[in-house]
């Protein structure tokens, strides 16, 4: 698992690496999805890509208070305007992400505050 985390750290800014590592250990099918995702992120966002962040997230499950919803969050940081970033996110979704069908990963785009 150390090799997988090291590979992800070469691609993403990983927050709370031990927790992300344990989550990927529990769901090993996520690793190839994350590496593929990064390739598609770079391909679509290109030079406007400032960074891609990877972190473990939890949310309360409204239906079952005993279970938190856990997932990995990928945040694509770009220097584009909101309109351009949204257009590229749609392209990313249409060309690849919508075919993946993985509920344990959420991918979103963030633009600089001054661009809003």
Domain-embedded: residue 65: no
Domain-embedded: residue 104: yes
Residue 116 reports pLDDT greater than 70: no
Hey, is 18 helix, strand or coil?
A: helix
Domain-embedded: residue 109: yes
Domain-embedded: residue 96: yes
Domain-embedded: residue 33: yes
Helix axes 30-45, 82-92, angle to 10 degrees: 130
Q: In this predicted structure, what is the pLDDT of residue 1? A: 65
Between the two ends of the chain, the Cα-to-Cα distance in Å is 39
**In the 8-state DSSP scheme, what is residue 58?**
E
pLDDT tens digits for 53-104? 999 998 877 776 667 789 999 999 999 999 999 999 999 999 999 889 888 9
Domain-embedded: residue 21: no
Across 31-53, average pLDDT: 95
Domain that holds residue 74: 2-11+28-58+70-115
CATH of the domain at 107: 3.30.300
């Amino acid at each position: 698992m150390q090799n997988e985390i090291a590979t992800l750290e070469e691609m993403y800014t990983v927050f709370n690496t031990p927790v992300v590592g344990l989550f990927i250990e529990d769901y090993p099918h996520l690793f190839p999805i994350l590496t593929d995702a990064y390739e598609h992120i770079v391909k679509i966002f290109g030079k406007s890509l400032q960074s891609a962040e990877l972190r473990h997230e939890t949310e309360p499950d409204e239906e079952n208070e005993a279970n938190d919803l856990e997932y990995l969050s990928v945040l694509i940081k770009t220097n584009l305007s909101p309109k351009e970033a949204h257009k590229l996110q749609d392209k990313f979704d249409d060309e690849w992400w919508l075919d993946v069908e993985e509920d344990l990963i959420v991918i979103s785009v963030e633009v600089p505050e001054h661009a809003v």
